[in-house]
Every structure is written in C-alpha cells, then in structure tokens.
C-alpha cells in the first residue's frame, strides 16, 4: 500500500476550505452564546432545580470549587453505574464492569481523555454507553469550553474579581453548542452509513453465504459528540477503524472535520470577545501552520520509511486518510483512531507523540487547545518584553512574577506527569498486565501511553495491557492530575488578570497580532517542547528509526 499524494493534498484542501468558511460564523455564534445575558427556558429549569443563581458571577476560587465538585460527583456516578450495570436496563446481558477498569474509565471519561482499557462492545450495554459515557462526552467537553471562556473574561475585564458562572457556562456549552451540532453531525453520519439501531446487525458473507450477528447500537449519536467534543472514546474496540463507525471515504473526512471545527472556531470567538479580530487570526494562523506542517511531516515519515505499509492501516480507504486522521486526533486531544498507531513506522509514531507533546494546541481540544495557546502567548510576550527591557503586557494587562509562576506551573505539570509515569513503569516491569515490547519500541509504547494520559488525549500506541490494577491506577492518577491542575492554574490566571487595571498601549508595547508575533509564538511552542521531551523521544522512536 502506497501513499496517494493527490488524495492527501485534495482531502487536506477540502478541510482547509470548509474550516475557513466556518471559522468566523461559528466563532461569532460562540462569542454571542457566552456574552449573552439571556437564559433559555430549559436552562432556567436546571438552574432552579440546582439552586443556582444564573446572574451571579463567581470569583475564580468559587468557579474552581464548583468545577471540582461537579467533577467529583461525575466520577462517583460514572464509576458506580458501571459497577451496577448488571441490574440496569438495556445492559444487553453484560454484568458489572471490573472495578479497576470501571475506575480507570470513570476518570478517563470525566477528564475528557476517553482512554479505554476494555473492549466496549464486549463490556458495555446500550444503557451505560448512552446514559453514562455519551453524557460525559458532552459534559467533559463543556467544562473545557467553560474554562477558556473564564480565561478570556479575565483578560478582558478590568479591576473585577469575578470570571463568570461555571454552571451557566457549562449549560450553554452543552445545550447551545455541543447538542445542536451533535444532532446535525449524527444525521450526516447516519446518511453516510454509520449505524444507529437498537440491536445487532446481521452480516451475510458473500463468499460462503454464512451469516453472523455483529453488535450494533446507537453509534452515530455517540460518534458525533465523541468527535465534536474531542473526546475520542469509540463505541467499538476498533474505534473509527470499525466500518460501523467509519464506513467510507466521505465519513472519514467528515469525522476529521468534526474533530477540528470547534477548536479552529474558538480563536474567532476569542478575537470577538477581546474586541480585536486580529488577535484571533494570529492564534488560528499558528494553529493552522502546526496542523499543516504536522500532516506533511506525518505523511513523509509514513511514506518515506521504506517499510511496507499494510498491517494496521485502513485497507478500505488507503494511507492518506489514515495520516490525516492520526494527525488530527493527536493534535486535538481526541484519541479516536482509524489506524493502529503501534503499526506505524517509528518516526511516524514519534510524530504523533510530538503532536501531543506540543500541548495539543494545533488546534487542541475544545477549550483546552485555546487556553494552552494563550498561555504560550504569555510566554512569548514575556520573552519579547525582556528583549526590549520593558514589563511585558498582554492586551493591556501586565505580566508580572505572579502570572509567570502560574504559566511555569502550567507548562511543567504535563511533562512531569508524562515522564514520571513513564519512568515508574520502566523501573517496575511488573506494573503492566502484559509486558511491552523490548528495546526502543517497548519504551515508545510506555512513553506514548503516559503522554496520551497526561495530555488527556486517550489514543493508544498498543502493545501493553493497561487493565491491571497497577497501571490502571497510575494512568488514572496521571489523567486526573493532567486535567485538574492545568485547569486550576488557568482559573487562577484568569482571576489574577481580571483584577488588574488595563494599561494604555504605548510605543513600547509588544503587538500581539500580526506575522511577527505569530512566528515568535510558534517558535516558543517548538522550543519548549524540544527542551522538555527531546531526550525521551531520542530513547524511543528516534532510536528505533535509526536501528531500522
């Protein structure tokens, strides 16, 4: 199987045209959604039932406490309902989930990681898939959007101690953004051939005439929010390589579009909310440059390896859709896969790790990609300020020691979690339920797993079994800290910036829009990643590539 360059260029061009067309309209809708003072009737009913005053703004500490309380309740419910599956309706004969697997799954779906240590069609019935996991796909994505909106408020407000209302932001993200888009996406997926039924699907083998029943279910509805919310948990074990989840070339390209459409529209929302569209254009240009460059390098690493491309690749569609999908899924904190990443050439597998190590900011997960890029923008402003000998400013807010300490924590926490988890697993070989491969490839399998968990991505390199108590617990801890600590830092940063008085722009102010700042921002992102992860990459995919 060879890479079809024409197919690669054509599909990427189609995505670029559609994303460019939806960038501003969807961004404007998002900005209006989170700036509006009007509450929908269904939202008011929820606020009344929960005792929430939707017109009361919260300090960042209260916003964070609300988020943590919501996360804790979600963890308990998702864990408990999996254990009780045997007595729940629509269980399809499945009993309660193994406690270690249930714990890992609860943390995974609540943190928007969607790491799956189980085979979904053999473990879960319709009830848990729909009422538990699909619901968390909405809620975890909504939390990410809410957090970035709070950060933007902190940037735009002057001498204010509040950053918004968590319950209002979460409700609007789910009801006004994710739900309507998911309905439309599910209809398109069903038209393209993704199944949506209430039972098994009978398949007749043409060659022998034999018939077999393949597990079915409400797949299109879950597939839509899995992709739009950059969640990634598949209805089937094969994820988006399964023909019931991804039946043809159109569905494959449409699913990639669903991965990218909201993250690429959020910078337009940001530009409108800060009152300067150029800010949004600068951010999205850096995101787009990384995405285009990563897709090109991934294609080169795949086609230029000299190794035969067969096992692990999507045989129905070809190599091009696999490289486009794999790049998008590791750049967007999604974790959905339509190719076995463990079967990729070493440098191609390393490229996917690098995508996650960048912080998944190109364009990143819903919400998390944009707030990650804004943190990197603060670093770029700080460096530029040092160059001109002036206290750095970002959109009228001074970036002082307190802000840079928070930025440093944000940047360091993910690599610390990923590299520490990798080191512990390498040092304790029996931690994994099944041993990884030997040599550099085995190290790559472990490094990929913890990079994916720490970045809340959820895609797997394969090769090791993570359902045992030791590794399931360690990965769960990494996923939870990789989600909660960065969010806490972002909200603290929002509160710190919001209390400041805006300072006027002067001749010494570093402009944060335009090509020059875009280049600086991109360079900062690459340098931070190279300095942090290069030794680990050298021990894994780079060493394996040199040995071949």
Q: What is the pLDDT tens value at each position of the chain, 548 positions in all?
A: 567 788 889 999 999 999 999 999 999 999 999 999 999 999 999 999 999 999 999 999 999 999 999 999 999 999 999 999 999 998 888 899 999 999 999 999 999 999 988 888 889 998 999 999 999 999 999 999 999 999 999 999 999 999 999 999 999 999 999 999 999 999 999 999 999 988 765 565 656 666 667 788 899 999 999 999 999 888 988 888 888 999 998 999 999 999 999 999 999 999 999 999 999 999 999 999 999 999 999 988 887 655 555 556 666 777 888 889 999 999 998 989 888 888 888 888 899 999 999 988 999 999 999 999 999 999 999 998 887 777 788 999 999 899 999 999 999 999 999 999 999 988 887 776 565 667 888 888 889 999 999 999 988 887 777 777 888 899 999 999 999 999 999 999 999 999 999 888 877 788 899 999 999 999 999 998 878 898 898 888 888 877 76
DSSP letter for each residue of 285-329? HHHHHHHHHHHHHHHHHHHTT-S---TTS-TTT-HHHHHHHHHHH
Measure the CA–CA gap between 61 and 29, rounded to whole angstroms.
28
- Regarding pTM above 0.85, the answer is yes
| CA 71/CA 60 separation, integer angstroms | 16
> Cα 403 to the chain's mean position, in Å?
25
CB 51 within 8 A of CB 331: no
Residue 416 pLDDT: 96
pLDDT at 469: 84
Question: Cβ contacts of residue 312 below 8 Å, gap of 6+?
Answer: 339, 340, 341, 342, 343, 344
Give the whole-angstrom CA distance, residue 259 versus residue 21. Answer: 16
End-to-end CA distance of the chain: 19
Classified as helix, coil or strand, 257 is helix
302: Cβ contacts below 8 Å, ≥ 6 apart: 3, 309, 319, 322, 323, 344, 345, 348
User: Got the DSSP string for 337-400?
Assistant: -SS-GGGS-HHHHHHHHHHHHTTSTTTTSTTHHHHHHHHHHHHHHHHHHHHHTS--EETTEE--
Quote the pLDDT of residue 302: 83
Give me the pLDDT at residue 435, please. Answer: 58
């Amino acid at each position: 199987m060879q890479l079809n360059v024409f197919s690669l260029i054509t599909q990427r061009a189609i995505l670029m045209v559609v994303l460019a067309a939806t960038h501003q309209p969807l961004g404007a809708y998002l900005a209006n959604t989170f700036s509006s003072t009007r509450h929908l009737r269904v939202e008011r009913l929820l606020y009344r039932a929960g005792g929430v005053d939707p017109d009361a703004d919260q300090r960042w500490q209260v916003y964070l406490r609300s988020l943590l309380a919501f996360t804790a309740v979600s963890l308990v419910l998702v864990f408990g309902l999996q254990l009780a599956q045997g007595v729940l309706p629509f269980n399809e004969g499945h009993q309660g989930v193994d406690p270690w697997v249930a714990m890992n799954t609860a943390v995974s779906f609540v943190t928007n990681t969607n790491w799956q240590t189980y085979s979904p069609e053999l473990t879960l019935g319709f009830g848990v898939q729909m009422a538990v996991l699909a619901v968390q796909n909405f809620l975890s994505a909504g939390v990410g959007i809410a957090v970035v909106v709070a950060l933007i408020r902190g940037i735009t407000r002057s001498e204010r101690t509040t950053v918004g209302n968590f319950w209002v932001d979460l409700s609007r993200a789910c009801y006004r953004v994710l739900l309507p888009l998911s309905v439309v996406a599910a209809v398109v997926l069903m038209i393209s051939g993704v199944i949506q039924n209430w039972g098994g699907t009978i398949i007749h083998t043409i060659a022998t005439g034999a018939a077999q029943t393949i597990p079915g279910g409400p797949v299109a509805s879950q597939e839509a929010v899995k992709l739009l919310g950059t969640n990634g948990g598949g209805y089937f074990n094969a994820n988006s390589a399964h023909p019931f989840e991804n039946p043809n070339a159109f569905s494959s390209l449409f699913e990639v579009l669903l991965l990218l459409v909201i993250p690429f529209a959020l910078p337009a929302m940001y530009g409108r909310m800060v009152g300067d569209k150029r800010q949004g254009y600068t951010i999205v240009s850096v995101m787009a440059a990384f995405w285009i460059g990563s897709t090109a390098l991934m294609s080169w690493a795949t086609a230029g390896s000299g190794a035969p491309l067969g096992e692990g690749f999507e045989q129905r569609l070809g190599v091009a859709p696999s490289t486009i999908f794999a790049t998008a899924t590791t750049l967007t904190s999604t974790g959905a896969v339509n190719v076995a990443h463990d079967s990729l050439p070493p440098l191609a597998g390393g490229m996917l790790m690098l995508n996650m190590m960048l912080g998944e900011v190109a364009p990143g997960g819903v919400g998390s990609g944009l707030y990650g890029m804004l943190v990197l923008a603060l670093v770029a402003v700080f460096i530029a300020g040092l160059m001109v000998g002036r206290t750095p400013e970002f959109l009228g807010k001074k970036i002082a020691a307190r802000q840079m300490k928070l930025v440093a924590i944000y940047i360091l926490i993910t690599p610390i979690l990923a590299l520490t988890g990798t080191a512990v697993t390498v040092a304790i070989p029996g931690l994994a339920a099944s041993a990884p491969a030997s040599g550099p490839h085995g190290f790559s399998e472990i490094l990929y797993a913890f990079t994916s968990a720490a970045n809340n991505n959820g895609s797997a390199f394969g090769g090791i079994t993570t359902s045992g108590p030791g590794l399931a617990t360690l990965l769960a801890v990494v996923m939870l800290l990789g989600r909660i600590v960065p969010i806490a830092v972002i909200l603290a940063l929002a509160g710190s910036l919001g209390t400041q008085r805006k300072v006027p722009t002067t001749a010494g102010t570093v402009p944060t829009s335009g090509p020059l700042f875009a280049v600086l921002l991109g360079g900062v992102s690459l340098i931070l990643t190279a300095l942090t992860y290069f030794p680990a990459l050298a021990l894994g995919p780079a060493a394996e590539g040199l040995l071949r």
